[in-house]
Structure 1
Amino acid sequence: MLRDNKSDSLFRLNHYPPSPPELQLQLQPFLGGRSQLLGFGEHTDPQIISVLRSNDTAGLQVCLRDGTTWVSVPPDRSSFFINVGDSLQVFTNGRFRSVKHRVFADPTRSRVSMIYFGGPPLSQKIASMEGLMEEGEESLYKEFTWCEYKKSAYKSRLGEYRLGLFEKAVAGR
């Protein structure tokens, strides 16, 4: 893992070893009805943006807007996958939504991914950008610092909706 101290960005290498059928069979009582081992549980990235590149092994899934339907992302070792993070959702006042995603382990092949998390400096204020809002439109979020959000995000459980603490009660929503 590499970090940039000025911007709180980081670069991480992930390795998901194969989970052969024998192992899955042994772990079946713990899989909660799933047929595959989870490599990394469902979550959104708290940063501004994430840039992912992986080998040609499947496993990445994204959740559609309905919040219940999961779709596999076809592996493509020559492409980059861009995730909108929670901070960008706030900057755009919800126009861009952070992407809930997860990774499953492949039964026969290792999955390797490289991901860059673009994060602001810890003191950076996170708020909806007025230039992106219509005249008279209210911000959906309270202003907060990246440090405040990061502390809150890492205290929560992985799959929890972490922006809820920073949402405003807006009429008509």
Structure 2
Amino acid sequence: MVVLTKPALGQVSLPRPQKPSPYFSGIPVIDLSEPGSEALLVRACEELGFFKVTNHGIPMELIASLEEEAMKFFALPQAEKERVGPATPFGYGSRTIGSNGDMGWVEYLLMQITSKPMSLPFLMDASASSFRSALNEYISAVRKLACEVLELMVDGLKIEPRNVFSKLVMDEESDSVLRLNHYPPCPGFNGTMTGFGEHTDPQIISVLRSNNIAGLEISLRDGSWVSVLPDQASFFINVGDSLQVLTNGRFRSVRHRVLANGSKSRVSMVYFGGPPSGERLAPLPLLMGEGEQSLYREFTWCEYKRCACRTMLADNRLGQFEK
């Protein structure tokens, strides 16, 4: 058992208590080994923008290895963790989860993994060799899974080429990142509080999993919030803002948030597959029907990231790029 040190989080005022939403039984579960999964993926992206995949091919031992290394890091004395920060944006951060002052009961490691693999200096230390090995194996496997899911989406959309989405994630200059989140116990607090405020993911696709502690919530089309039952053996997929643009709004970027449990430790690992920095984003003509109008003007990924940094949480970032 990992014994957690008391985090610096506890030295500041808490986010306000929150009431958990009811569990939602309607999240699509897609078995990637089954014929016809491509059509189910498309339907899930259109209706909810969020789904769970099983039979994903990533060994549980590999997943458990990185989770264990993450917990070891977050259990370090606060002073040691802060030597890896501050997150600008990469590195160790806590509490501050947006550039405009958004706060949550969370600490995290954010790593750039494509054009500058393993860019955090501490990962080069001999003492971090097991952490580095677990990261490399996990990143390779989860990127492969993201590409498999994106290519199945394209199969379901019946367009060519099959790699029209996945090539953006696999590009050497892809702006992809991995985020390890820790929502620690809070001494003396037995309820739930804001861990990570509501937002959408700006990238193309997000592939996430957590330990067996609840906290993730998503927003349905009617604006209501529902809780996602955790599943350690599966991965959850978010449609990102960029994919919503590329499909001209056919796929929905899902709004989500995390509530932290004051008495239990939650760890999540999220791979964000982003396009190359200079990529121009606009609806694909292949997905436009005759006479259909584009909902979004063309803009670069860099332009969007600047916008996203200014409006991290709860804002309609894509609205600034609508025609």
Equivalenced residue count is 156
Q: Counterpart amino acid of 2:310?
A: K
Kindly indicate whether residue 275 of structure 2 is the aligned counterpart of residue 120 of structure 1. Answer: yes
- The secondary structure found in structure 2 opposite 1:152 is helix
CA distance in 1, matches of 2:262, 2:189: 9
Once the two structures are TM-superposed, the CA of residue 136 in structure 1 deviates from its matched residue by 0.9
Query: Where in structure 1 are there 5+ consecutive unaligned residues?
Result: 25-34, 169-173
Provide, for residues 78-121 of structure 1, a one-character-per-residue CA deviation record: whole Å limited to 9, x for no partner.
11010000000000000111010000011321110100000011
Q: TM-score, normalised by structure 2?
A: 0.47
Which deviates more, 11-20 or 130-139? 11-20
CA distance in 2, matches of 1:104, 1:19: 13
Q: Counterpart amino acid of 2:183?
A: Y
Alignment correspondent of 1:2: 111
CA distance in 2, matches of 1:54, 1:36: 17
Provide, for residues 37-94 of structure 1, a one-character-per-residue CA deviation record: whole Å limited to 9, x for no partner.
1100000000011000111000000000112x10000010011010000000000000
Kindly indicate whether residue 155 of structure 2 is the aligned counterpart of residue 46 of structure 1. Answer: no
Alignment correspondent of 1:171: none
Alignment correspondent of 1:57: 213
CA distance in 2, matches of 1:123, 1:104: 34
Tell me if structure 2 keeps the 8 A contact 1:51–1:83. yes
Tell me if structure 2 keeps the 8 A contact 1:19–1:37. no
CA distance in 2, matches of 1:45, 1:14: 15
Q: Counterpart amino acid of 1:10?
A: V
Alignment correspondent of 2:122: none
CA distance in 1, matches of 2:257, 2:210: 14
Alignment correspondent of 1:27: none
Tell me if structure 2 keeps the 8 A contact 1:49–1:117. yes
Alignment root-mean-square deviation, CA: 1.2
Q: Counterpart amino acid of 1:88?
A: L
Alignment correspondent of 1:158: 313
Name which of 184, 195, 203 aligns with 1:17. Answer: 184
Query: Where in structure 2 are there 5+ consecutive unaligned residues?
Result: 1-109, 116-172
Kindly indicate whether residue 232 of structure 2 is the aligned counterpart of residue 77 of structure 1. Answer: yes
CA distance in 2, matches of 1:156, 1:167: 16
- The secondary structure found in structure 2 opposite 1:62 is strand
CA distance in 2, matches of 1:98, 1:122: 20
The residue correspondences of 1:108-147 to structure 2 (distance < 5 A) are 108-147=263-302
The answer to which structure, 1 or 2, has the higher relative contact order (CA under 8 A, 6+ apart) is 1
The structure whose Rg is larger is 2
Identical amino acids, percent of aligned pairs? 65
- The secondary structure found in structure 1 opposite 2:264 is coil
CA distance in 1, matches of 2:243, 2:186: 34
Alignment correspondent of 1:99: 254
Name which of 18, 37, 44 aligns with 2:193. Answer: 37
Structure whose residues are more often helix by fraction? 2
Moved over 6 A (4+): none
Q: Counterpart amino acid of 1:13?
A: L
- The secondary structure found in structure 2 opposite 1:105 is strand
Once the two structures are TM-superposed, the CA of residue 2 in structure 1 deviates from its matched residue by 2.6
Q: Counterpart amino acid of 1:136?
A: G
Q: Counterpart amino acid of 2:301?
A: W
Q: TM-score, normalised by structure 1?
A: 0.86
Tell me if structure 1 keeps the 8 A contact 2:205–2:273. yes
- The secondary structure found in structure 2 opposite 1:136 is coil
CA distance in 2, matches of 1:105, 1:156: 22
CA distance in 2, matches of 1:153, 1:92: 20
